[in-house]
Amino acid sequence: MQLSWWKLLCIVLLAYVLVIGLVTPLKPGILKISPERIKTGQTVDIEISGYNTHYKSSNQVAYLKASTGYLIQAKEIKVIDDNNMVASFDVPQFLPTSNSIEQLSVITSSEKDGSSVMPSRLIVAQDSVQLEMGKNLWSIKEPTFFGIKKYSFPFRNILYETIRNTFFHVSLWFAMFALLGISVYHSIRYLYKSDLLDDWKAYSQVRTAILFGVLGLITGSIWAKYTWGTWWTNDIKLNMAALSMLIYFGYLIIRAGIEDPDKKARISASFNVFALVAVIPLIFVLPRLTDSLHPGNGGNPAFGSEDMDNSLRMVFYPAVISFILLGIWLSQLVFRSDVLSHKSESAEI
């Protein structure tokens, strides 16, 4: 079997994604804090549990930061082990905001681990509001935070190690839509030229795309279980993805129910074109008009700095390319199998 350059590229990129995507460690981060609710005017010991941290190996600093940018530094830090420490804070009597309740971010920093943030997790209540006095008691000066040069993936709260699924779950959907787009091209060619080979190519590409879509649903469901605590939620993008798969299952049912080859090809080609036109708004338009747990929906930018960074992009983009190439490769194998099967049936007749 001849191995084209793009097939070699597919193999190399897949190997790269598997090795780098699964082996690269996450950056150090804050896993949890305790307690999560405090009151002003007290000395509070905050237990901080880290992930991939080295608290014993370097001097640690810790801060509580308000949404307005004001912060206070821990007066004392007691390191228990590499992943646990206790930071003591003298919380002023008043907050630097006009709110009776404020959500503070916990920040740690050291030369070895860099800077880690647990955003808006610590809830602080004040009995009375004294805004100007609160601003005087808190610092507005931004401290210098440490960074790390070691190549690693970002530590994201809730996601943790499952952030690696970005390379597989999202790439499968990119590849699925690429295959559906190519299949529509061949369906349109059939409608113009009535060449059954174009119909068979479209059929093989749709089946491969459905396989990728089903794998995308499975990987997404597993991801949801580990991050959202359930296999499926009433999230609009999940529901629209499932509806899209049902539309293409309808394509398979139509083909299975028509015996005449030309009639089957004409109807399925027309259905394939309109199916993609219907699916694109379901996946890319409707979720943006309402709230969704997925990034890029409800007004949130997709693949922004909160979702992706350069370390992830170095693996994500090769993953998308490799899965698209793999999908084309698989669809070619399915097409050749269909052609051989047809020739075998014709020879028997």
- 177 shares a domain with 120: no
* pLDDT given for residue 347 in this prediction: 63
Residues 55 and 118 in one domain: yes
56 lies in a domain? yes
- For residue 161, what are its two tokens? 């190690």
Residues 183 and 317 in one domain: yes
Residue 24 in domain: no
Mean pLDDT is lowest, of 2-11, 98-107, 142-151, 323-332, for 142-151
pLDDT tens, position by position, 245-257: 999 999 999 999 9
Element (DSSP H or E) covering residue 116: strand 114-125
Which structural domain, as residue segments, surrounds residue 222?
160-348
* In a domain? residue 203: yes
Domain assignment of residue 147, yes or no: no
| Residue 301: strand, helix, or coil | coil
**Nearest residue to 25 via CA among 50, 54, 52, 53:** 52
Tell me whether residue 280 is in a domain: yes
Burial of 11 (0-12, 13-18, 19+ CB in 10 A): middle
8 Å CB contact between 202 and 272? yes
Indicate whether 251 and 182 sit together in one domain: yes
Inside any domain, residue 29: no
Question: What's the domain count of the chain?
Answer: 2
The Cα 44–Cα 46 span in angstroms is 6
What was the pLDDT predicted at 300?
47
Q: Does residue 83 sit in the same domain as residue 198? A: no
Same domain, 293 and 224: yes
Tell me: do 205 and 296 sit in the same domain. Answer: yes
Is the same domain home to 164 and 71?
no
**How many residues make up the chain in this entry?**
349
193 half-sphere exposure, CB direction, 13 A CA radius: 11
- State whether 331 and 190 are in the same domain: yes
Residue 76 lies in a domain: yes
Specify the CATH number for the domain of residue 85: 2.60.40.10
Q: How remote is the C-alpha of 160 from its chain's centroid?
A: 11
DSSP conformational letter for 266? H
User: Does 178 share its domain with 113?
Assistant: no
Of 336, 23, 52, 79, the closest CA to residue 203 belongs to 336
Q: Kindly list the distances between the CA atom of residue 178 and the CA atoms of 205, 224, 295, 321, 346, in Å, as whole numbers in the listed order.
A: 10, 25, 21, 10, 33
Same domain flag for 189 and 335: yes
Query: Per residue in 263-322, pLDDT tens?
Result: 999 999 999 999 999 999 888 888 777 777 776 555 444 555 556 788 999 999 999 999
Name the amino acid, one letter, at 80: I
Q: Is the dihedral of CA 82, 86, 89, 91 positive or negative?
A: positive
Kind of pairing between the strands at 114-125 and 37-39: parallel
What span, in angstroms and rounded, lies between the C-alpha atoms of 35 and 222? 30
Domain membership of residue 246 (yes or no) is yes
- Are residues 109 and 172 both part of a single domain? no
pLDDT of 241 above 80: yes
Cβ(293)–Cβ(239) under 8 Å? no
- Cβ atoms 93, 111 nearer than 8 A: no
- d(C-alpha 284, C-alpha 305), whole Å: 20
